[in-house]
Structure 1
Amino acid sequence: MNIALIAHDKKKDDMIRFVTAYKTIFAKHVLFATGTTGLKIQEATGLEVHRFCSGPLGGDQEIGAKIANNEMDMIFFFRDPLTAQPHEPDVTALIRLCDVYSVPLATNMGTGEVLIRGLEQGDIDWRNVVHGKTEDFIEEK
């Protein structure tokens, strides 16, 4: 599955701890991230991460385009709700796209825990149907 990892500045350490804790699960998937978040995850975990621009420079929009083109299966976006973000319209648009295209989205560690455990157990395999991989999906079940 294609998984995006995004974290506001005050949540980057949380994201690094989260990815480190679930490194063995994340290692089985293709990871994408906004610029700085992706770099910090790579440095901390050694995982390969495809990096987009920094969020304020368009990274959120790049991930949004992947969602709109059905190329992203899950988003972990650890947001800082207490700090104003200069690119808040982009953040809102990204969350809206997840809702429009039924892409699972975790905005904090609590929902992240639920999604990563669901991913590990195969509860997100329905995304294979979305990608037209119905034969693989049926064989796995």
Structure 2
Amino acid sequence: MNIALIAHDKKKEKMIDFVVKNESYFKKHTLFATGTTGTKIMENTNLTISLKKSGPLGGDQELGAMVANQQLDLIIFFRDPLTAQPHEPDVSALLRLCDVYNTPLATNERTAELFIHHIKKD
């Protein structure tokens, strides 16, 4: 599977913890991430991640293009709903594309856990 990992600044540590906890699962898949999130994950794991630009610099849009071209099977995006994001239109566009192209999208840790648990069973 092609999996994208994204986290807003206040959720990056939670994403790192989540990926570390599930590293054996993620190493079986091809990973993509926005720049800062992916770099921090690689610093804390033995995973290789194809990095896109940082979210505010176009990384969300790069991943959105991958969704539109049906190149992603799952997106895990730990969003911070309590902090205004300067690139909110990009975030909204990515979420919209996931709906348009029926791409599974987990926006919190519990949903991501459920997706992974279900996929492991297949």
Where on the TM-score scale, by shorter chain, does this alignment land: which range?
over 0.9
In structure 1, what is the equivalent of residue 105 of structure 2? 105
Q: Which runs of 5+ in 1 are unaligned?
A: 123-141
What do you get for the CA RMSD once the two structures are aligned?
Answer: 0.5
One-letter amino acid matched to 1:68: A
CA distance in 2, matches of 1:46, 1:40: 11
Q: Which runs of 5+ in 2 are unaligned?
A: none
CA distance in 2, matches of 1:75, 1:119: 13
In structure 2, what is the equivalent of residue 60 of structure 1? 60
Query: SS in structure 1 opposite 2:43?
Result: helix
In structure 1, what is the equivalent of residue 41 of structure 2? 41
CA distance in 2, matches of 1:93, 1:108: 18
CA distance in 2, matches of 1:70, 1:7: 21
In structure 2, what is the equivalent of residue 75 of structure 1? 75
Please state how far the C-alpha of 1:116 moved relative to its aligned partner.
1.1
Please state how far the C-alpha of 1:46 moved relative to its aligned partner.
1.4
Deviations 1:35-90 (A, max 9, x none): 00000000101100000000000000000000000100000000000000000000
Please state how far the C-alpha of 1:118 moved relative to its aligned partner.
1.4
1:1-141 equivalences in 2 (<5 Å): 1-122=1-122
CA distance in 2, matches of 1:105, 1:21: 19
Please state how far the C-alpha of 1:120 moved relative to its aligned partner.
1.2
Aligned length: 122
